[in-house]
A and B are shown apart, each in its own frame.
Chain A
């Protein structure tokens, strides 16, 4: 890795990649990119490139994992060996297993699990290129994939992180800030229900800074939500235009 720079934020308050403290990275979202999956989405969040595919609801395999009273959501977060500078072993690492669980738990509140008992929904998240904040981008893409699969949802789930770099609270950390900064707060959020489904913190923040970071992340989520909604509509808009 590169040497640690003296400052991640310059005197004018501009960050390493030219952003202001409360600015998001450029975002690109696309829905329905895979034809073999029931639903799919692709996200480019800064330098992150992530594919998400959703299947189901379908019969659970192996069968003993099926729940008699509810649907089961399974998630697999996986990083491609070429997604980072140094080759990552394709076997699931401790971190990937953890993130799979975190993504699953942040999406579950958005689903009507009781509606289709004994079935399962599978979500596969494949990180093609990583640059910090992949869990958040993954959640955003996975929610789109599930909606595209036609699974009823209470709300879309959006995620965004905030953190502390050089004693400043900033939005949407990229890799260097994530590694060299002093704190990272990923937040997943259901904008219409105004409910937080994931809140983590890595590092040290004062209560005031924490509150500021959470609010900043939630504002970021709202901005991403607008794009997420647009992306979902774009896929079906083509059909709608025929009407006019």
Chain B
């Protein structure tokens, strides 16, 4: 039952990872009892489970996920939303309007138009059907202000940090509201554009150095460094 990898080793698709007494985890597959990598990434063994943390992947919808999408089309009884996944999602008009939807009375494009950005939750998704979205919960719905940035979806857990430590720190230090779409789209809303800039800078740094150790400390430092400069600017004004 040998393993053929070192911790945090960079592997390419098809590389043999382990044989025998191991379980295949994320981004791996089994063929003839051997575990191979299926994406480029870093290997990580969790007990007997071999995972590959992908460096490049796309978002696959999952029920319950919060995502940020762009409305691409206004249909007869709903909207088509691009959620940067292999499938486009559907948002039903009856879900957005709190009253029963009547096509003859309601003009859908007045509620959400093509190009609008929305925060939504995936209500249902399976292999046979495109994902259905819902905005019927607090915090969901049309985005009216803030800045959008995109990261590789696999980096989102790192931005959240252990028990949300990383993201809550950024929120606290920059006074920004940050919504992480699990599809790799992030919304940053601050009181001033400068604050948003700092938050974005921190997130970009996490994205670039996502698999390095001691990152939280460096981010704290970055935020501290940028903060006084900004406050002084305000004083001059």
Contacts and interface: CB of A to CB of B under 8 A. Distances in A.
Contact residues of B: prevailing secondary structure:
loop
Contact of A240 (B10, B12, B88, B128): B10
B58 A150 contact: yes
By size class, the interface of chain A is 35 or more
A195 to B, nearest CB: 10
A232 B40 contact: yes
A236 B40 contact: yes
A174 B211 CA distance: 43
Given A112-B29, A237-B10, A240-B211, A192 B39 contact: no
A59 to B, nearest CB: 6
Contacts of A59: 86-88
A229 interface: yes
Interface in A141-168: 147-156
A153 B86 contact: no
B209 A242 contact: yes
Interface in A204-244: 229, 232-233, 236-237, 239-240, 242-243
B14 A191 contact: yes
B86 A236 contact: no
A149 B40 CA distance: 10
Contacts of A81: none
By size class, the interface of chain B is 20 to 34
A155 B13 contact: yes
Interface stretch (B49-57, B166-174, B222-230): B49-57
B58 A193 contact: no
A56 interface: yes
Nearest to B153: A150
A53 to B, nearest CB: 15
A117 interface: yes
Nearest to A229: B12
Interface of A: 38-39, 56-59, 68, 110, 112, 116-119, 147-156, 190-193, 229, 232-233, 236-237, 239-240, 242-243
Interface of B: 8, 10, 12-16, 27, 29, 31, 36, 38-40, 42, 54-58, 60, 86-88, 127-128, 152, 208-213
| Top-9 shortest CB links A-B | A155-B14, A150-B56, A153-B13, A152-B38, A192-B14, A57-B86, A150-B57, A119-B86, A243-B212
